[in-house]
Amino acid sequence: MSIPANTRPLTGQPPALKAPAGATDCHMHLYLPGYEAQPGGPNIAELATVADYRQVQQRLSLERVVVTQSNAYQFDNRSILQGVAEIGQARARAIVAVAPDASESQIEALHAQGARGARIMQLPGGAVGMSGLTAVEARVKAFGWHLMVQFNSHEIDIYMATLQAIDTDYIIDHIGKFMPPVAADDPRVDQILSLLDRGNAWIKICGGYETSLSGGPEYADVSPIAKRVIKHAPERVIWGSNWPHVAVPREQYPDDAEQLDVLLHWADESIRQKILVDNPAVLYGF
């Protein structure tokens, strides 16, 4: 099956934010030619290649990148690992899908190709949900990997005990993915802060457009949550573009520069250095 080439915007006005040297995009996806969607995942509408992303990367003045496994590929990590190989491990890492019964040799092979984390996706289409988290953690712990965990934080009560039991580092994805957004003083935001205080949790500023009802570029309903977590634990925050934004139709495609510029309003310059450079370097070993 032939997948059409990318038709979404790759260029445009640069962001107002001047990214510091070593700035890292900690969440994006690749859809390379020759790799098809797997059973259980969504279809692939368009390709999104390394060459495509390099245009976005140049526009935003980003230097490093973390390629995240797409739900479409389920446990077939070959596309993103090829992407990491094309970019080079000096500037790229991968977050892969790991089966709960994966062998040590399988994970060792993924590690050698630049994988540094495993994706746990509770939302529809995820290869491994929260029920598989403990088993996956046991597989990847010896390699120093972290878990990238995404769920609707309206349900965080259900998952608190599991999250509190994690020994490895883990990322709470997409600003907690509150669907719909809640007030910054909501008790469920307090629960996220309590997890950050434990010392092994991180949170990613990413994909606000997926949950916002007020819309960009301000994302006024998501902004208070983001500002609160950044103020509370700036040393535990990272950022991602979520390119190529496959969760939204083309007419709702967010401006990539605006996705970076939210940090102008949510964090001061010294904190942006942590979010874009220092924190990713610690987490991913750049």
How many whole angstroms separate alpha carbon 66 and alpha carbon 59? 17
Cα–Cα dist 84/89, whole Å: 6
Amino acid at 46: E
Active site amino acids: 242
Is cis: bond before 244, omega within 30 of 0? yes
DSSP for residue 43: P
Rounded Cα gap, residues 29 and 125, in angstroms: 15
The residue type of 222 is V
Q: Output phi, psi for 24, to 5 deg.
A: -125, 130
Cα atoms found within 13 Å of the Cα of residue 277, Cβ hemisphere only = 14
Q: Which residues contact 66 (CB under 8 A, 6 or more apart)?
A: 24, 25, 26, 27, 28, 92, 93, 94, 95, 116, 240, 280, 284
131 phi and psi angles, rounded to 5 deg: -65, -20
